[in-house]
Structures are given as structure tokens and as C-alpha cells.
Structure 1
Amino acid sequence: MAGDGDVIVVGGGVIGLTTAVVLAEGGRRVRVWTREAAEATTSALAGALWWPYRIEPRELVGAWSLESLRVYEELAADPVRTGVRVVAGVHADVRLDELGPWAQEVAGLRQLPPGEVPGGYAAGLGARLPLVDMPMYLRWLRARLEAAGGVVEARTVRSPAEAMVGASVVVNCTGLGAREWVPDPGMRAVRGQLVLVENPGIDTWFTAADEASSETTYFFPQPGRLILGGTAEDDAWDLEPDPATAAAIVERCARVRPEIAGARVLGHRVGLRPVRGAGVRLAAEAGPAGVTVVHNYGHGGAGVTVAWGCAYAVAGLVD
């Protein structure tokens, strides 16, 4: 579909970097143009547990998620370098028979009796899943891209036309920025607030995330910290942490693990999930002068979960 020119990937979060890695390792000359370094993106703030959460369309998400799962399971063999570990935990208020067909291909998922679900929840699912230390993982991703010959350039790209100059393929991984960049008015922010605390000795993760509620409860043990969450506030764009919200997050998590109540607070974080009303946009279209534009954005709360599957799909559209 494309010619012999460079591939320009616009966006340097986990979606953009993963897509760039797959294309570069497939023999393409790849440049990532990003307004901000990966550690300053929304991706760096993610929890980040592998699980299809707040993402559509469901008929595609399962396959993308499973492809990514296989990659993370391999990367977990070298956690010190990649930041990926396989960790045990519980999804409260989740029933195995209510999940999609993809769940049958995730080894070790098991329905728990109420007595084994912490926090007094009536149902829950036990699992061992990849948990990603995002700052470390994003550094590793960039290094893998550079090892494959790709480059990352700090550059603000105001329109698709700017990226098309000298490129045969432009891949749009702008996330929430697609609202103006495409433009796509269907993009909206779902605000997530987190609290980072000293880990009081917790080595398992926990989630209770009703997708119909703006309040969620979860904690993820990461090196040097325990990440507490959270919120899912639809169409909320405020990046300032709210003290009352932070206190409520700690209180909810402490109902599940009381030792969290006394943990020293290390910091607060706010990220905006890039949600698209029609679901992920992953499609190619013909641009001017023979340039192919591939869109890969709108991954909601599951960018890490589907990153590799979506990147392979992009590669299929480019080749």
C-alpha cells in the first residue's frame, strides 16, 4: 500500500511507541514525532494491569488483547529490564461466564467463592496477569525502537498534512489529541486520579471497577510504590488532583486492605483516558500524493492491554 519513504508515527505514548517498534522491526524506516517525552504522556501514569477495560469495539478487543498478552508474558521473563511482571490478584464483581470468548484463552482465570474475595464483595475472579511498571517499560520500548533503527523526535505536528511531507505512511497515534488533529469530535477524556503510597507489604493487585460508576477501587504493587485508584470521570478535563477525591480513594482501598490507611503518601497523579464514542479507530485511508494515513487511536482505559495487537494490525494495513 505504501511506497519506500519513511513511516512517520505521530504520538509517543505506549500506542505510538509499540506501533513504531513493530514497523521498524518489520524493516520500515520509522520516525516517531511526539510533542512530549514518553514519561510525560498519559501512558506513563497507567497502573498498568493487562485487562480489557473501558474499550470498544468488543468484537475486536478480545483478539488485540490476547495478542498483547502473549507478548507481555514473554517480556515478563526479564522484569528487571522490561518492567513487566506476572502478578496474582483479584477482579471483584467479575464473573467468568459474563466475559467474552477471549477469557477462555487466558490461562488460570478462576471464579472465586465469596469467602476468597477481599472487601466483602459477593463475587470475584482470581488471575495471574501482566502488571507493567510504565516508566521503566516506556524507556525499554524506546530503546528497542532505537535498536531497530527507529528514531524519536520532539516535534509538535499541528495537522496530518505536516506529517505527510517526505513520508509514504503516516500513523496517527495521537490519542486524545486526535480530537483536534484529525479532527475527531467523538474523542473525549475520562479522567483518572491516582494516589501513590509507600507499599505496606502488599504483593497482589485488586480491582473493583464498575464501568457504570465514576468511582473505582484498585491497587497495584509497583517497584517503590503502591498505586491506588481511582476515578473514571466522563468528559472531565481537569488535570489538578483533588484532595477530597484522593482521600476517598485511600479510604476505599483501605476497606479492602486496612494497612493502606496508614501508608505514607508519595504523590498524586491525574491522567485523561482517550475514549472514543465509536470505539478504537484502526483504519487506513488514502492521503494526498499517494501517502497512506493509518489511524490508531481511541483506546480508552486499555491502551497497554491492546497495544501490541493494534500494532500488528497497523503493520498489516501498511504492508
Structure 2
Amino acid sequence: MDTEVVVVGSGVIGLTTALTLARRGYRVRVWTREPAEETTSAVAGALWWPYRIEPEERAGPWSLESLAEYVRLAGRPEETGVRMVPGVHEGVRPGALGAWSREVPGLRAAREEECPGGGLWARLPLVDMPVHLRWLTDRLAEAGGTVERREVRALDEASARAPVVVNCTGLGARSLVPDPSVRPVRGQLVLVENPGIDTWYVATEGHSAAPAYFFPHPDRLVLGGTAEEDAWSTEPDPAIAAAIVRRCARVRPEIAGARILGHRVGLRPARSAVRIEAERRADGSLLVHHYGHGGAGVTVAWGCAREAADLVTDAG
């Protein structure tokens, strides 16, 4: 195929899209202002679940396609960072979810001893994002792609260097496109030593600004969280951190005494609907927009990457 493509952005959306294109034979370069380990994706929890993403009728199929890929990757957890982990989603009933939920193997109503408040039980992919981002970067290199540290101030810079550009800039699309409908939803996390917890727990209460969840990873327990709309600060707030620990400790009291390892803040790139759209520019170049995944970038990454790559392929 030998067409050159520049993918702008090195979060999970950018890297997964770049890898998908490279595996189709495109010559792919990723341009990124910061390395993958410093992106919002690196901060993610990251449990597979269609959270804060629209439109639901498209997010469901994207999520299921990604689920199938993560199940395969979970066979090599040390390499890929993906493990299948059981847990409960408190307060959610099976009938309240979209059609996608009927395709999730093993998803069922939680038993009383599993979740006294009622909810769902499922065994889902839980992704150690620093490991997974390294895996994506390594697979991209194996497929012939490269990652370049470069701050992009205008998408025209990329179009001047390649006939195809894929805009995976997340919140950066707000100024680069520009698209003011992309808004931050601030998420704060607390990392603690794991006191022996091996299941995940989520209680989001819809789009509450103060959800409670914890995710067990090999070297830490990730506690969350927040969902503060239009909040731009990336500095951890000590009062919020303390409240996160208290909320999680109400579910598992042993969390209260766990040693704190660190704090993380990420800004989810929310939009009324994900934008995956091709635009033929005046100079003949192709620009594919691929952003606005909110809190579900990991969940839909592979399905959305295929759709974005299809737009490149179909444009010839």
C-alpha cells in the first residue's frame, strides 16, 4: 500500500489506530507532544466498560469488538497488560443496559453476598495502562511504524508532510480543529498498596461527579474517582483524595489503612458524540478526525480504530 499516514496523538486511541493502519500496510508515523506514558490514557483505571460515551448505538459495537481483542490479549497479561478480572458494578440492573450487554459473556445479576446493594457481576478486561501503552508502541515499531516527539500547533503541519492525517488528539482537538464541543471531565485517582483485594468494584451512580471504584493491578490498587465536568486542573486535590479513600473504604475497610503510593489526575476528552469522520482538504489530502471518546477510550479503542482505518482505506 505504501501510503504515508501521520497519526497525531499517542494515547490509547492514537496508538491503537496507528497500529491498525500499520498492520494494513501503511507507513505510519505518530506525532506526539508527550510520550504515551504521560498521556491521559496512562492515568486510566482501566476497566472495560462503556462509560460516558455516545452515541450508544455505535459505542456498543465498538466496545464489543474491543472486548474480543482484549480477551485474546489477556492470554499474555505480563506482555500486554490485559487481565480478565471479576468484579461487581453496584446499583446497575441488567435490563438498564443497552443491547451490547447481552453479548458480554457471563454478565449477570450479582448475588447478595457478592454485592449486598444489588448490581451486576462480570469478569471483564482490566488493563494496566503503562504496560499496555508500551506493548502498543512496541507492536507499532514491529509493524514498521514510528513515534516522534513533536508538538503540533496546526493540523496543516501534518498535512504538509503526509497525504493522510488522523487526528487522535483527544482534548487537544478543542483548539486544533477547533472544536469547542470537546470538554474536559476531570478524573482524580489514588494509588495505594493492595491490601489483598483481587476483585474490582464500581459504583458510578449515573454521571455522578463523585463515583467510587477500585481496580486491583499487579503492583497497586487504583482508587477513584471523580468526574468533574469542565474542570481543567491536573493537580491532585488532597481533600478529594481523602474523600476517594473514604468512599472506597466504606466498601472494603482494609483500604483505609493501605499505604498511599501516589496520586494521578487525567482529563477525559468528553463530547456529545465520538467523532470519526473523514474530510478531504483543499490540497487533496485526507484528514480523518477520531476523538471525543470521553471516559471509554480504552473500552472502544479497537473497534474505533478499525472504523477510522476503514475511512482511510475506503478513501483510497
TM-score range, shorter chain: over 0.9
Percent identity between the two aligned chains: 67
1:34 maps to: 32
Deviation at 1:279, TM superposition (A): 1.0
Amino acid at match of 2:124: L
Distance 1:153 1:288 in 2: 26
Distance in 2 separating the partners of 1:213 and 1:17: 30
Residue aligning to 1:260: 255
Report what 1:311 is aligned to.
305
**Cα deviation, residue 126, structure 1:** 0.3
Render the CA deviation track for 1:129-174: whole Å, top value 9, x for unaligned: 0000000100000000000000000001111111001312100000
Match of 1:133 in 2: 128
Partner residue of 2:279?
285
Distance in 1 (CA, whole Å) between partners of 2:3 and 2:22 is 13
**Amino acid across the alignment from 1:260:** I
1:215 partner SS: coil
> What's the secondary structure of 1:31's corresponding residue?
strand
Q: Does 1:296 align with 2:294?
A: no
Offset from partner CA, 1:165-220 (integer Å, 9 cap, x none) = 13121000000000000000001100001000000000000000123310000000
- In structure 2, how many angstroms separate the alpha carbons of the residues matched to 1:63 and 1:74? 17
Q: Which residue of 2 aligns with 1:54?
A: 52
Would you say the 8 A contact 1:54–1:211 is kept in 2? Answer: no
- The TM-score normalised by the length of structure 2 is 0.97
Counterpart-to-counterpart distance in 1, 2:102 and 2:217: 27
Q: Which residue of 2 aligns with 1:204?
A: 199
| 2:162 maps to 1:167 | yes
Against the structure 1 CA distance between its residues 4 and 77, is the aligned structure 2 distance closer, same or farther, given a 3 Å change threshold?
A: closer
Distance in 1, Cα, partners of 2:195 & 2:62: 35
Alignment-derived partner of residue 97 in structure 2: 99
2:75 to 74, 77, 82: 77
Moved over 4 A (4+): none
Where do 1:137-152 residues align within 5 Å? 137-152=132-147
Whether the aligned pair in 1 keeps the contact of 2:207 and 2:227 (CA below 8 Å) is no
Query: What are structure 1's unaligned runs of at least 5 residues?
Result: none
Q: 1:288, CA displacement in angstroms?
A: 2.6
Say which SS state the counterpart of residue 199 (structure 1) adopts.
coil
Within 1, Cα distance between the matches of 2:112 and 2:237?
Answer: 33
Aligned equivalent of 2:208: 213
Is the contact made by 1:88 and 1:126 (CA closer than 8 Å) also made in structure 2? Answer: yes
Inter-partner Cα distance in structure 1 for 2:63 and 2:284:
32
What TM-score comes out, normalization by structure 1 length?
Answer: 0.96
> For residues 225-283 of structure 1, what are the alpha-carbon distances to aligned partners after superposition, in whole Å with 9 as ceiling and x for unaligned?
0000000001101111111111110000001001001000111111100001x210011
Q: Distance in 2 between matches of 1:204 and 1:151?
A: 37
The residue that corresponds to 1:20 in the other structure is 18
Measure the CA separation in 2 of the matches of 1:36 and 1:181.
Answer: 16
CA distance in 1, matches of 2:53, 2:255: 29
Alpha carbons 1:5, 1:166 under 8 Å: kept = no
Shift of 1:115: 4.3
Q: Which runs of 5+ in 2 are unaligned?
A: none
User: 2-side partners of 1:42 and 1:149: how far apart?
Assistant: 25
Asked whether the equivalents of residues 79 and 135 of structure 2 are also in contact (C-alpha less than 8 Å), the reply is yes
- Tell me the secondary structure at the aligned position of residue 90 of structure 1: strand
Cα distance in 1, alignment partners of residues 154 and 61 from structure 2: 31
* Aligned alpha-carbon RMSD (Å): 1.0
